[in-house]
Structure 1
Amino acid sequence: MEKDLRIKSQVFSEGSLKAPNRAMLRAVGVTDEDFKKPMIGIASTWSEVTPCNIHIDDLAIYAKEGAKEAGSVPLIFNTITVSDGISMGTQGMRYSLPSRDVIADSIETVVGAESLDGLVAIGACDKNIPGCMIAIANAEVPAVFLYGGTIAPGNHNGKDIDIVSVFEGVGKHNNGDIDDEELRSIECKACPGAGSCGGMYTANTMASAVEAMGMSLPGSSSNPAESQEKAADCRDAGEAVYHLLEKRIFPKDIMTKEAFENAITVVMALGGSTNAVLHLLSIAHAIEVDVTIDDFNRIQAKTPHLADLKPSGQYVMQDLHRVGGVQAVMKLLYEAGYLHGDCITVTGKTIAENMAEAPSLEEGQNVIMPFENPKRADGPLIVLKGNLAPSGAVAKVSGVKVKRHSGPARVFNTEKEATQAVRENKINDGDVLVIRHVGPKGGPGMPEMLSVSSLLVGKGLGEKVALLTDGRFSGGTHGLVVGHIAPEAQVGGPIAFLQEGDTVTIDSDKKEITVEVAEAVLEKRRKEWVAPPLYKKGILGKYAHNVSCSSKGAVTDFLADRKV
């Protein structure tokens, strides 16, 4: 007798009262025989608003084919995406982080409402990936995450370029280093096709983290968007969910504390985005695993940075794919004792078993450095604490030679005002540029500051001016930057009480961020401070009133009595 793999959809074949349910499904092509099979949701983030997701409709069809051939009834449904790159530097960037929760909630809603037995969630752009993973955690059915894949690099004057090249080109143009024609040429060549931004930016970082966690198939994170490997990856993902149902392997079985530690380790080795801290905390919160912001420093201290990848390095994700991909990096780390090998994965095998089949890095490659000559002896993502960020702040120090920076605060309450000051050459060497009231509640939505950080780099100030914010940075940001300062200004964090000229010190070796103002003076400023009114309209209003601190992942279902 065929084993019943259904978890939720069995309601559609039990009793005469279920006839109306079955009737609706017959209209979309479900047959009598199909009612005996598990129903698999294929959550697609296809959209024409960004090249990251323009191809995902095809990928969803491939995944559907794989799920159907395995013996299930696959049903495609859609959710949203927004483009961080397009909204960057505009008021639209406030919607980026909230879109993570819209994606998560919408996928969970469909899985729950339609009583689906399993899930393949396909994401590409930055917030798709954590959004899909939060949904997988909350839906509590066997699931596989499928990454849409990286974009190929553009080429300008014989050199690889990408979207960050354009942002930094704006800074060079503003500085008079390149003319209008050169900037337009960079713009036209930077993004040659479908796929997520090509460096070790947020999308590729999170895809790598999910693969390291065991929630996507081996190779998924580094197979390029427009490749035969990605098409095969999709079919395999559809089939894999069926086998997870057979073995009754659920997300909670895979996403353990050790699995999160594997993910953080791989992010450190690859030199990933600061956004990984925010998103991994939010996913851990959803699956109810005790991961805190302090776990990142613990793992950072013992994990070397090995990857020479953009934004601070030379290569892009497609180059990593060419020399063996994330699986080869994981194999290198596993054999050196950096990864937990006994963690179960969506293959039904453990990390150790997967690594036995994984490729080794290509001989003579230069993308991943050897342990004896790392890019950095420890990880490049650090959590800073001090009287300016009691709950923590996040910095990415890969490629940054400055270990300690102390200078006068130049304080702005909006990104627009700060950007204008940089454009008008009002920010000087040694300054500490502060952009506040752009946190989860204050933004609202915790917008990214790639435009102003890229402008500083383009003007040659990337390591001469420190940039601090209670907002976020793009995975494409590099330079002397500190984000996620918590508590944020909107809720009365110390950053709210900074004044022009206060001396601020960032010390990456000590992992400290401090302001040289007496506690009594800060307390006086605190008593005189009045919080700005929270935004009230639409989704941003809902978000502002519900979102938690960035040090807890900026989650919107935070409850004080939860363990995490």
Structure 2
Amino acid sequence: MKYNSKSVTKGYVRTANRSMFYALGCSLKEFKKPIVGIANGYSTITPCNAGLQRITTTVSNLLNRHGTIAQSFGVPTVSDGISMGTSGMRYSLVSREVIADSIEVCALGQSMDGLIVVGGCDKNLPGGLMALIRVNVPSIYIYGGTILPGYWKGKALTIVSSFEAVGKLNTQALTHEDFTEIEKHSCPTTGSCGGMYTANTMSASFESLGISLFYSSTMANPTTEKIRSSRLSAKYLMKLLRLGVNPTILITRKAVENAITVVLYIGGSTNAILHYLAIANSVRVRLTLDDIETIRKRTPVTCNLKPSGTHATTDLHNVGGIPQVLKRLSSQELLHKACATVTGRTLGEELNRIKLATQCIYNVILPINKPLHQQGHLLVLKGNLAVFGAVAKTLGVKRRSITGRAKVFNDEESTTKSILDDSVTAGNIVIIRYLGPKGGPGMPEMLSPTSALVGKGLGDKVCLITDGRFSGGSWGIVVGHVAPEAFVGGPIALVKNNDLITVDLSEALIHLHVSNPVLLKRRKLWRLPIVENRRGILKRYAEVVNQSSFGSVTV
């Protein structure tokens, strides 16, 4: 196999370090082969990543048989589903940076010529992609795949079913037996959480970016189909090595716009906004919340997927997956089709190979002329409560405006307790603050309180506002990523109980009905609450991370 001399220069095994490679089982004739790193997210921490080793082994064996030296190395992860509602959630977004840094350190420290990232849980995807951009050698992303849905009493379940069951149990709308069985059946296999939550949202967008193969984002992890797709990914990586195609050729401004368009079209997670601001920063592309709002206004939502819809990600796969989504976007002239992909073909050329499906899909992907929403569901709000902006998720929300009295909390635990104790009632505006990138630190997700609200039947009757994040599984009248955050003295820090607040989705407005003179007086009296003695990575992260409106990045 002949490789492009420009891309394969650093990884030749030099005389001075051959002894190390002999110890790894290499022979003299292999020393001129390119080295391909496999960043392996396998762990038994979470079902999202527990099924990755067989993918890594498959890819490694194929690469070694076909003219490369495959070197796998471990990548850490944090399970959002397990850390949710605990202090461990503060490490979730931080892990995105740790993942990117870990891959960069190993790939560049070992002078690798090519790179494959095999990832599963939420932060594996943006963190892995940010690393691919930094390392910038021929690369491909292999997503570990989604989990299969569980079932109880004929109802399809995902991990969010367990969180929402807590609220239903509290209102006696669910028996203890059903609650236990929902917990047991929600996650029946390995794979990432099964609705259009953050991992599946990001992986779906990677197909449009051209960094992952078509169909790969919606496959279930336990299937042989996933193994076949992984083998094909490894073959394309070898092609990329021959051609010298690097990620910065693929990840352009137009490719990022395609990815955000897909996120909106499929009803994806609010976290995708945060991650694409960070990804754009990595590739030195200027992207703002205003740019995302421009894309939102021209992009309808057509996929009926959990958490606000009916279907799991595997259902989307069964009707043709993301290529069918892209085919529809292409027909509506909503894609930049000249963008390159890892196959060597453009996105438009790839789509020319796909036949538009018109039968048996309309309960999952709605007809083009009958979308769920005429415009995208991830709405950028601005106002005196979020001067830099905030992000609202509007899927499943019929109410377009709410004005109510504030109930203010400085932590997630007391919020959830108040919801379950019926201290939060219809019409309230719940504020959870000091949970931003610096305040959390790490913007913990508020799945527990949002799920409790849904379980209590208050999902469309109470608005929840936070400078933290939301899980991809959250829905209802929820506004997150409020910037500036409370920790740096943002206006959300000045809100008091019973203040009147308006959230108007039609006007993209978030407004605190308190006069400027009163706010100025409150600001003079405001003091940062006592912060626990931070140490280690949380301390370092909080010192350098920027605001959510810029992606919460540390570089």
Corresponding position of 1:286: 282
- The letter for the 2-side match of 1:464 is K
Asked if the contact 2:83–2:89 (Cα under 8 Å) also holds between the matched residues in 1, the reply is yes
CA contact (8 A) 1:120 1:144 kept: yes
Find the residue that maps to 1:364 and give its secondary structure: coil
Give the secondary-structure state (helix, strand or coil) at the position aligned to 1:271: coil
- The 1:129–1:224 alpha-carbon spacing in structure 2 relative to 1, beyond 3 Å, is same
Does 2:503 align with 1:506?
A: yes
Q: 1:364 Cα shift? A: 2.3
SS in 1 for 2:382: strand
1:81 equivalent in structure 2? 77
User: 2:159, 2:5 → 1: CA distance?
Assistant: 45
Q: Paired residue for 1:34?
A: 30
| Preserved CA contact (<8 Å) 1:306 1:376 | yes
Q: CA deviation at 1:215?
A: 0.8
**Per-residue CA shift, 1:267-296, capped at 9, x if unaligned?**
110000000000111111111111111121
The partner residue of 1:199 within 195, 208, 221 is 195
**Which residue matches 2:304?**
308
Equivalent position amino acid for 1:432 in 2: I
Partners of 1:299 and 1:190 in 2: how far apart?
34
User: Using the alignment, how far apart are the partners of 1:2 and 1:311 within structure 2?
Assistant: 48
> How far apart are residue 20 of structure 1 and its match?
3.1
Corresponding pairs, count: 553
Q: Say if 1:390 and 1:75 are closer, same or farther in 2 by CA, change over 3 A.
A: same
Q: Which amino acid aligns with 1:94?
A: R
Query: 329-338 or 50-59: which moved more?
Result: 329-338
The more displaced of 298-307 and 518-527 is: 518-527
Aligned partners of 2:484 and 2:547 also within 8 Å = yes
TM-aligned CA distance change 1:70 to 1:426, over 3 Å? same
TM-superposed deviation, 1:69 = 3.8
Identical columns (%): 47
CA contact (8 A) 2:150 2:186 kept: yes
For 1:101, the aligned partner's letter is: E
Q: Out of 152, 164, 169, which is 2:165 matched to?
A: 169
Q: 1:298 to 1:240 in 2, by over 3 A?
A: same
Q: Which moved more, 1:102-111 or 1:18-27?
A: 18-27
Q: Unpaired runs of 5+ in structure 2?
A: none
| Residue of structure 2 equivalent to 1:491 | 488
Instruction: Work out whether 1:91 is the aligned partner of 2:87.
Output: yes
Provide the C-alpha distance between the structure 1 equivalents of 2:205 and 2:297, rounded to a whole number of angstroms. 18
Q: Which residue of 1 aligns with 2:295?
A: 299
Query: How far does the alpha carbon of each residue in 1:426-446 deviate from its partner, in whole angstroms, 9 at most, with x for none?
Result: 111100000000111101111
Alpha-carbon deviations, 1:486-531, whole Å to 9, x = none? 0100001000000111111111111110101111111111111112
- Tell me if structure 2 keeps the 8 A contact 1:268–1:379: yes
Which structure 2 residues correspond to residues 49-448 of structure 1 after superposition, within 5 A?
Answer: 49-361=45-357, 363-365=359-361, 366-448=363-445
Q: What SS class does the counterpart of residue 543 from structure 1 fall into?
A: helix
| 2: CA distance, partners of 1:551 / 1:503 | 25
1:5 deviates by: 4.6
Q: CA deviation at 1:67?
A: 2.4
Distance 1:362 1:370, change over 3 A: closer
Shift of 1:50: 0.5
Q: Specify the alignment match of 2:545 in structure 1.
A: 547
Q: Equivalents in 1 of 2:211, 2:513: separation in Å?
A: 45
Work out whether residues 6 and 38 of structure 1, in 8 Å CA contact, stay in contact via their aligned partners in 2. no
Structure 1 residue matching 2:58: 3-state secondary structure: helix
SS state of the match for residue 301, structure 1?
helix
Q: 1:357 to 1:65 in 2, by over 3 A?
A: farther
Q: Provide the C-alpha distance between the structure 1 equivalents of 2:432 and 2:203, rounded to a whole number of angstroms.
A: 29
The more displaced of 494-503 and 244-253 is 244-253
Mapped to 1, the partners of 2:6 and 2:142 lie a distance apart of: 22
> Which secondary structure state, in structure 2, belongs to the residue aligned with residue 53 of structure 1?
helix
For 1:474, give the aligned amino acid: S
Q: Compute the displacement of 1:65 (Å).
A: 2.7
In angstroms, what is the RMSD of aligned CA positions? 1.3
Structure 2 length normalisation: TM-score? 0.98
**TM-superposed deviation, 1:68:** 2.8
Q: Which runs of 5+ in 1 are unaligned?
A: 558-564
**Pair 1:556–1:153, CA change in 2 (3 A):** same
Cα contact 1:6–1:117 (8 A) shared by 2: no
**What CA distance in whole angstroms lies between the structure 2 residues aligned with 1:166 and 1:10?**
49
SS state at 1:40 partner: strand
CA distance in 2, matches of 1:297, 1:435: 24
In 2, distance between residues paired with 1:398 and 1:356?
31
In the aligned structure 2, how far is the partner of 1:452 from the partner of 1:10?
50
Cα deviation for residue 136 of structure 1 reads 0.6
Deviation, 1:182, is 1.2
User: SS at the partner of 1:33?
Assistant: helix
Amino acid at match of 1:41: G
Alpha-carbon distance in 1 for matches of 2:423, 2:9? 63
Residue 260 of structure 1: SS of its match in structure 2? Answer: helix
CA-CA distance at 1:25 after TM superposition: 1.5
- TM-score, scaled relative to structure 1: 0.96
Partner Cα separation in structure 2 for residue 39 and residue 538 of structure 1: 34
Distance 1:385 1:414 in 2: 23
Deviations 1:349-393, CA, capped at 9 Å, x for gaps? 100011011243351222000111100111111110110001110
